[in-house]
């Protein structure tokens, strides 16, 4: 800053004009954009499609450089915005901060001049970047010399008006804004260029390095100036070039001070520099291929500066640098987000097999099989009660009276409390299993979201299943009787009457009331005695099918009730989380630019 003041004291007419304009509160400043806006408005009245048409106030209507957001980049930004919105409640920490910053910078850059390209000149201490800055501007603007650091704050040089908003965004005050040498034809090719000289990226002062990091995120392109001594500097490659490898198309790498190298040493160093850039992952644009521009020059002698000026002129006139920078930023943000959106290739869904297994586990937990068996036994027992012989019923009643514990559950059966604990454990295991199956292969945040959805839904599920077991379990009414039951009861009653009749007939013969004849009453009694069990056995055989169907129906009702409860509480929330992941995955694919449609 001191150097700038000294230059104005030395009578530089242009610097005096800049200082006076910066001190008058902004009135009449060359870079306030007023003249540029008036020129643009006049151009619109004559030709709305001209390159000087003013930017529309609506954000994202037009990309810097004239490329509309209706194209691929517009779709990528919209997808990134949708991606961030869908993910904020699922992804913790600052994972989405970079994506949010890219969206903010896209909106901020869009509101500013589309006719300007902001290019930063960055380099290490002593690399000669300030000398190159002055050589391109054609006038002494940035201090050069032995004292380090010579550049303590970013200094800007704009070839045309209307760049005030861009420089305000970067944070360069009016007193550090300059103009190049006027009246030279060679400057016309750089119409729209805004050149920014940055402090040394390896400065001992932390504030200088922080300014470099801040400005590099805001400019449209970067010229990295390296010298034969520090071109392989680890800090340069690991901190800057390697992380910005995806920004190769807006990167210039200049090997300065080649006048210090003898013979063909400059070519050897340049080849080694290209090799290092390749190891950094930064593509080098050769033979017409897209990538970083690499060249050698001497800012002190002027060798190669004209070639760089010509490349810059072509680069600026294309007016695609802001869009390229933004596209590279979106790609970089997408690459950082890849671990939280890209699964292992498995389609995220809860298939029918997993649903069926979950339903079966709930049925086991609620005791659907036991209920079905109990209902079947109940139906069979009622059939036996209706169609059994009276003597067998009497014997069963006697056994029950003689041994009160008979007919009850055998020893060793779990108590109701034990059954409740076991059922709860089965429910928890079923929920955990289906959650693990649904989350298998998903990125960690989404797998966690699926598990949390399952756990939230499982809260209170055992209690609700207990209620269902009571409501949909064994019916309170007696099982329905088939149409053949009355006939069976009548046949069993007939067999009993035959036994009684034969017995009375035999007793009558014994006491002499009836004529003797042992065979007839014995045959009648045998017919009743044998016919009763036969009828009972026939009824039991005939009852097996209806009893089984009755039990299956009872089990089915309970299974369906348990399945409905599990679906509403667990499967539907899990499916909703998987659907949300599919949505964000589709948006992520759109962000990467690999596809404009989701999968």
In a domain, 10, yes or no: no
State the DSSP code for 188.
Answer: G
In a domain, 598, yes or no: no
Which range among 132-141, 270-279, 297-306, 403-412 shows the weakest confidence by mean pLDDT?
Answer: 403-412
List the beta bridge partners of residue 196.
120, 156
State the DSSP code for 576.
Answer: H
**Residue scoring higher pLDDT (523 or 44):** 523
Tokens found for residue 489: 């009861």
* Residue 430 and residue 481 in one domain: yes
Q: Is 21 within 8 Å of 30 (Cβ atoms)?
A: yes
* Residue 385 and residue 273 in one domain: no
| d(C-alpha 253, C-alpha 190), whole Å | 19
Cite the DSSP H helix spans in 10-123.
Answer: 13-23, 34-46, 72-87, 97-110
Kindly tell me if the per-residue pLDDT of 85 is higher than 60.
yes
Q: What is the mean pLDDT of residues 556-580?
A: 86
* Residue 256 and residue 400 in one domain: no
CA distance readout (Å), 64 to 166, 199, 249, 593? 12, 27, 16, 19
Which range among 1-10, 150-159, 280-289, 424-433 shows the weakest confidence by mean pLDDT?
Answer: 1-10
pLDDT in tens, 297-337: 999 999 999 999 999 999 999 989 999 999 999 999 999 99
Cα three-residue angle 310-328-239, rounded to 5 degrees: 90
In a domain, 80, yes or no: no
Q: What is the pLDDT of residue 246?
A: 92
* Residue 558 and residue 425 in one domain: yes
Q: What is the pLDDT of residue 277?
A: 94
Q: What is the pLDDT of residue 251?
A: 96
Closest CA to 366 of 319, 419, 312, 304: 419
* Residue 288 and residue 364 in one domain: no
* Residue 183 and residue 274 in one domain: yes
| d(C-alpha 347, C-alpha 292), whole Å | 38
Of 256, 282, 312, the residue at which a domain comes to its end is 312
Kindly tell me if the per-residue pLDDT of 37 is higher than 70.
no
**Residue scoring higher pLDDT (231 or 13):** 231
Closest CA to 321 of 65, 67, 103: 65
Closest CA to 350 of 584, 571, 567, 599: 571
In a domain, 319, yes or no: no
Kindly tell me if the per-residue pLDDT of 8 is higher than 50.
no
* Residue 308 and residue 360 in one domain: no
Q: How confident is the model at residue 525 (pLDDT cuts 50, 70, 90)?
A: confident
Q: What is the pLDDT of residue 483?
A: 62
Which range among 162-176, 213-227, 416-430 shows the weakest confidence by mean pLDDT?
Answer: 416-430
Q: What is the mean pLDDT of residues 478-501?
A: 72
What angle do the packed helices 97-110 and 72-87 form, to 10 degrees? 140
Q: What is the pLDDT of residue 413?
A: 42
Which range among 334-338, 430-434, 445-449, 472-476 shows the weakest confidence by mean pLDDT?
Answer: 472-476
| d(C-alpha 549, C-alpha 372), whole Å | 9
Of 286, 312, 338, the residue at which a domain comes to its end is 312
Q: How confident is the model at residue 482 (pLDDT cuts 50, 70, 90)?
A: low
User: Assign residue 557 a region: left if phi > 0, alpha if psi is -120 to 50, beta otherwise?
Assistant: alpha
Q: How confident is the model at residue 220 (pLDDT cuts 50, 70, 90)?
A: very high
| d(C-alpha 117, C-alpha 323), whole Å | 10
Q: What is the pLDDT of residue 329?
A: 93
| d(C-alpha 191, C-alpha 115), whole Å | 9
What angle do the packed helices 444-458 and 572-592 form, to 10 degrees? 160
Q: What is the pLDDT of residue 29?
A: 37
- How many structural domains does the chain have? 2
In a domain, 155, yes or no: yes
* Residue 564 and residue 484 in one domain: yes
Q: What is the pLDDT of residue 494?
A: 79
Q: What is the pLDDT of residue 475?
A: 56
* Residue 302 and residue 446 in one domain: no
List the beta bridge partners of residue 284.
292
Of 280, 312, 344, the residue at which a domain comes to its end is 312
Which range among 99-103, 124-128, 240-244, 510-514 shows the weakest confidence by mean pLDDT?
Answer: 510-514
- Mean pLDDT over each residue of the chain, to the nearest integer: 77
Element (H, E) at 444: helix 444-458
Strands 293-296 and 251-255: parallel
Tokens found for residue 466: 């207990």
Q: What is the pLDDT of residue 24?
A: 41
Tokens found for residue 276: 């290092």
Element (H, E) at 216: helix 206-216
Please report, for the domain that includes residue 256, its CATH number. Answer: 3.40.50.300
- % the chain with pLDDT above 90: 31
Q: Is 228 within 8 Å of 269 (Cβ atoms)?
A: yes
Closest CA to 574 of 441, 427, 448, 425: 448
Which range among 63-77, 187-201, 311-325 shows the weakest confidence by mean pLDDT?
Answer: 63-77
Q: What is the pLDDT of residue 419?
A: 52
Query: Which position has the token pair 């861009």?
Result: 166
In a domain, 39, yes or no: no
Q: Is 298 within 8 Å of 257 (Cβ atoms)?
A: yes
* Residue 441 and residue 392 in one domain: yes
| d(C-alpha 286, C-alpha 278), whole Å | 12
pLDDT in tens, 244-285: 999 999 999 999 999 999 988 999 999 999 999 999 999 998
**Residue scoring higher pLDDT (528 or 264):** 264
pTM (2 d.p.): 0.68
In a domain, 290, yes or no: yes
**DSSP code per residue over 151-166:** --S-EEEESSS--HHH
Query: Which position has the token pair 């036991």?
Result: 370
* Residue 294 and residue 358 in one domain: no
Cite the DSSP H helix spans in 62-96.
Answer: 72-87
User: What does the H/E/C string look like for 165-188?
Assistant: HHHHHHCCCHHHEECCCCCCHHHH
The parent domain of residue 246 ranges over: 118-159+172-312
Q: What is the mean pLDDT of residues 429-433?
A: 87
Q: Is 136 within 8 Å of 308 (Cβ atoms)?
A: yes
| d(C-alpha 365, C-alpha 345), whole Å | 34
Q: What is the pLDDT of residue 441?
A: 83
* Residue 378 and residue 295 in one domain: no
In a domain, 131, yes or no: yes
């Amino acid at each position: 800053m001191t150097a700038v003041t000294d230059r104005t004291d030395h009578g530089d007419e242009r610097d005096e004009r800049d200082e006076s304009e910066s001190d008058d509160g902004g009135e009449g400043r060359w870079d306030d954009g007023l003249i540029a806006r008036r020129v643009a408005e006049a151009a619109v009245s004559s030709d709305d499609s001209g390159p000087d048409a003013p930017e529309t106030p609506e954000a994202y209507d037009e990309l810097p450089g004239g490329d509309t957001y209706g194209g691929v980049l517009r779709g990528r930004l919209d997808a990134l915005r949708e991606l961030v919105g869908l993910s904020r409640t699922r992804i913790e920490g600052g994972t989405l901060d970079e994506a949010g910053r890219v969206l903010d910078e896209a909106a901020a850059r869009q509101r500013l001049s589309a006719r300007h390209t902001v290019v930063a000149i960055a380099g290490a201490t002593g690399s000669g970047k300030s000398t190159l800055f002055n050589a391109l501007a054609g006038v002494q603007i940035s201090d050069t010399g032995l004292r380090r650091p010579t550049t303590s704050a970013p200094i800007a040089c704009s070839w045309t008006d209307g760049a005030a908003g861009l420089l305000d965004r970067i944070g360069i005050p009016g007193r550090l804004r300059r103009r190049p040498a006027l009246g030279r034809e060679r400057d016309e090719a750089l119409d729209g260029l805004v050149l920014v000289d940055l402090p040394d990226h390896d400065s001992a002062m932390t504030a200088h390095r922080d300014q470099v990091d801040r400005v590099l995120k805001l400019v449209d392109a970067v010229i990295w100036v390296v010298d034969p001594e520090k071109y392989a500097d680890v800090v340069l490659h690991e901190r800057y070039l390697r992380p910005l490898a995806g920004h190769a198309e807006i990167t210039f790498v200049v090997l300065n001070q080649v006048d210090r190298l003898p013979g063909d040493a400059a070519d050897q160093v340049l080849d080694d520099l290209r090799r290092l850039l390749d190891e950094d992952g930064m593509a080098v644009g050769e033979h017409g291929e897209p990538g970083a521009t690499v060249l050698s020059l001497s800012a002190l002698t002027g060798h190669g500066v004209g070639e760089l000026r010509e490349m810059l002129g072509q680069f600026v006139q294309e007016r695609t640098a802001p869009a390229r920078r933004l596209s590279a930023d979106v790609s970089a943000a997408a690459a950082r987000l890849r671990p939280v959106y890209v699964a292992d290739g498995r389609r995220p869904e809860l298939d029918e097999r997993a649903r069926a297994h979950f339903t079966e586990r709930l049925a086991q937990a609620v005791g659907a099989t036991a209920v079905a068996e109990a209902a079947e036994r109940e139906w069979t027992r009622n059939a036996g009660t209706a169609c059994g012989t009276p003597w067998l019923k009497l014997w069963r009643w006697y056994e029950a009276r003689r041994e009160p514990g008979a007919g009850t559950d055998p020893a060793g059966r779990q108590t109701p409390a034990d059954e409740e604990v076991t059922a709860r454990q089965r429910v928890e295991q079923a929920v955990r299993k289906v959650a693990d199956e649904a989350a298998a292969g998903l990125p960690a945040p989404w797998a966690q979201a699926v598990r949390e959805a399952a756990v939230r839904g499982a809260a209170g599920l055992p209690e609700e299943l207990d209620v269902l077991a009571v409501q949909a379990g064994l019916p309170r009414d007696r099982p329905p009787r088939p149409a053949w039951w009355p006939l069976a009861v009548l046949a069993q009653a007939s067999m009993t009457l035959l036994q009684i009749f034969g017995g009375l007939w035999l007793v009558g013969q014994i006491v002499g009331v009836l004529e003797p004849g042992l065979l007839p009453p014995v045959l009648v009694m045998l017919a009743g005695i044998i016919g009763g069990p036969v009828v009972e056995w026939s009824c039991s055989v005939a009852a097996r099918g209806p009893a089984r169907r009755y039990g299956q129906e009872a089990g089915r009702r309970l299974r369906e009730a348990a399945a409905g409860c599990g679906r509403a509480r667990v499967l539907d929330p899990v499916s909703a989380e998987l659907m949300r992941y599919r949505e964000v995955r589709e948006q992520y694919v759109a962000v990467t630019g690999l596809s404009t449609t989701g999968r």
